Structure 1
C-alpha cells in the first residue's frame, strides 16, 4: 500500500474512539490475512467507514466488507442471501446482502464465521489467485459525514 494511501486510511480510522479504531484495525488485519490478493476498496461514507475485499478494482467485485460505525463493526456478505448459515448468524432481509454485527474482532476467528467467509469467497478463488498482491484503493470520501464517535447516551 503506498504510504500516502496508508496514511489516508489511518486518518479515517483515527477519527473513531481508541477502542473502535483498535477494533476496526484488528478486523481489517484479519481480513487482509484472509484475502492476501486482490483489492481492498475503502469508502469513507456518510454513515460509516466501509472496507471491501474484491478480486478486481471495482465495487461489483467486492464479496465481503467491514463497516466501522461509532459503536460497532459489521461484517457484510455482499452476496450473502444464499449462503448456508446453520448457526443463524446472518442478519438482513435484503435481496442480496447479509451481515453480522461483530461483538469483537475475535468473532472473525469463530469457525462458523470463518466458514461463511470461505463460502463467500470461494466462487472467485481463481480470480483472487490471478489478482495482484492486495492493493488498497480509496474509492470515495463523502463530503458530509456523521461523527465517527458515539453521541453521549442519555
Structure 2
C-alpha cells in the first residue's frame, strides 16, 4: 500500500462530511504549495498532515488537522501573519489556526494566509521539488474518528 492510499484510509475513518472537507483542504493546500512534502501523523486526537520543504516537523509551513467534527488549517508563524479578516484563532506562540469549511477554503483571505506563512518560514518549499506523502507516525490508541 502506498502512503497516499494509507492516507486515504485514514481519512475514510471520519464521517463523509468531514472526510470531504479534509480532502478539499488537502487539495487546496497542495495547489497553494506545489513541491511540498506531506508529512502524515495519525495521532490520538486528530489526523494531521503537515506541508513542508523536508521531512523535519519543525520546517512545516502549514498543516491540515482533521478532527471528528471539523477540519482546521494550522499556519506557521501565525502570531506574526497579517490577518485583516480576523480568521486566525488561538493564542499559541508559534502557530494559529483557521477552522475550515467550503466557503473559507474558497476565500482569498485563506489563500493569503497560506502565502504569508510560506513567505515567513526559514526554509522555503521548492515549487519544483518532488511532492510526496510520508507517513511519519500512527498512534496505536486513538479517539473515535466519528
Per the TM superposition, whether the score is higher than 0.5 is yes
Equivalences, count: 146
**Mapped pair 1:145 → 2:121:** no
Distance 2:43 2:31 in 1: 24
Alpha-carbon contact 1:13-1:21 (below 8 Å) kept = yes
Structure 1 segments of 4+ aligned residues over 4 angstroms from their partners:
none
5 Å-filtered alignment, 1:1-16, equals: 4-16=2-14
TM-score by length of 1: 0.88
Q: 2:60 aligns with which of 56, 59, 62?
A: 62
5 Å-filtered alignment, 1:1-154, equals: 4-102=2-100, 104-124=101-121, 127-129=124-126, 132-149=129-146
CA deviation map 1:34-76 (0-9, x unaligned): 1110211110010000011001111011010110111100110
Distance 1:105 1:137 in 2: 26
TM-score by length of 2: 0.92
Distance 2:49 2:102 in 1: 15
Alpha-carbon contact 1:56-1:131 (below 8 Å) kept = no
Cα distance change on mapping 1:124 and 1:94 into 2, 3 Å: closer
Question: RMSD of the alignment, in Å?
Answer: 1.8
| Structure number, greater radius of gyration | 1
Distance 1:126 1:95 in 2: 19
